[in-house]
Amino acid sequence: MTDLERLAAIVDDAALNANAIPQFSEHSPLSVADGYAVQALSMQRRYARGDRRVGIKMGFTSRAKQVQMGLDDLIWGHLTETMRMQEGGSISMAHYVHPRVEPEIAYLIKHELAGNISPLEAINGVAGIACAMEVIDSRYANFKFDAGDVVADNTSAAGFVIGDWHPPDTDVTNLGIVLNINGRPKQIGSSASILGNPSRALVAAIRLAAENGEPLQPGDIVLAGSATAAVELSVGDHVEAQFETLGSVCFSVR
């Protein structure tokens, strides 16, 4: 086992068993490039257990997230089948270390997309746009990490839920978003806070996935990154994100 394989096993076990681990960077700094190598190796372990890649997620695409986590470079991770949550369903706290929720925009890919393309070309390759939420759950103690750590940990990806698909030409450049927990608004924002326009996050996801040798395929999902700071989840929470024109999406925590 190489050093990077060893780190992949540690982060994969932590995700599988929902236990917190010390930051890798506490012992020796992990470069972002090595972080992506660890992420790829940890995904191989998931796929070997029968899980399946269903898309790509972008992170730190809004100022609110960058400020909350103290990091400002765009990052990306993998979404897999077992992370998919049922809309209106419930998730068990037992499967997470210290989960948080964030409102996101989701894109559904229509045909293979790769390379450095414009937002318009990207949208032309999309079959639908929906409101979504991501559940993030850093495997690092106290939800603290540096860039190499969080990339190695598949950018904290832990769950996602997607609302009804809308036509790809739906204007999502500046939609009001409210994230409610137990009927109380916890975060309020706009889709415009995602890189000024969430289609820029889609363009970045297309480029990064292709550069990594896994161009986006028909049916793949892209999460554009949270529009607001993330909110901690507790047992008993009912979580709902409302998006102007796109509708809403909800789940509860048991």
Q: How far is the CB of 135 from Mg ion (least distance, A)?
A: 9
Question: Judged by CB under 6 A, does residue 156 bind ligand OOG?
Answer: yes
Of the ranges 16-24, 118-126, 148-156, 171-179, which one interacts with ligand OOG (CB under 6 A)?
A: 148-156
Q: From the list Mg ion, ligand OOG, none, which binds 99 (C-beta under 5 to 8 Å, kind-based)?
A: none
Residues 131-150 that bind Mg ion (CB under 5 A): 134
Q: How far is the CB of 150 from ligand OOG (least distance, A)?
A: 5
Neighbours of 172 (CB within 10 A): 24
Question: Judged by CB under 6 A, does residue 80 bind ligand OOG?
Answer: no
Of the ranges 8-16, 43-51, 129-137, 176-184, which one interacts with Mg ion (CB under 5 A)?
A: 129-137
What separation in angstroms does the CA of 19 have from each of 15, 29, 46, 90, 98? 7, 22, 17, 21, 9
Q: Which lies closer to ligand OOG via its Cβ, residue 53 or residue 110? A: 53
CA–CA separation, 25 and 199 (whole Å): 33
Which residue minimizes CB distance to ligand OOG? 59
DSSP state of 236: T
Strand-pairing partners, residue 62, are 194
Q: How far is the CB of 1 from ligand OOG (least distance, A)?
A: 27
Residue type present at position 224: A
Q: How far is the CB of 226 from Mg ion (least distance, A)?
A: 5
Question: Judged by CB under 6 A, does residue 107 bind ligand OOG?
Answer: no
CA–CA separation, 108 and 134 (whole Å): 15
Bin 208: left if φ > 0, else alpha if -120 < ψ < 50, else beta.
Answer: alpha
> CA-CA-CA-CA torsion for 71, 77, 83, 89, nearest 10 degrees?
50
R_g of the chain computed on alpha carbons: 17
Q: Which lies closer to ligand OOG via its Cβ, residue 66 or residue 170? A: 66
CA–CA separation, 19 and 44 (whole Å): 20
The residue within the footprint of ligand OOG, chosen from 37, 41, 136, 249 (CB under 6 A), is 136
Binding site for ligand OOG (CB under 6 A): 57, 59-61, 65, 69, 102, 134, 136, 138, 150, 155-156, 225-226
Q: Which residues bind Mg ion (CB under 5 A)?
A: 134, 226
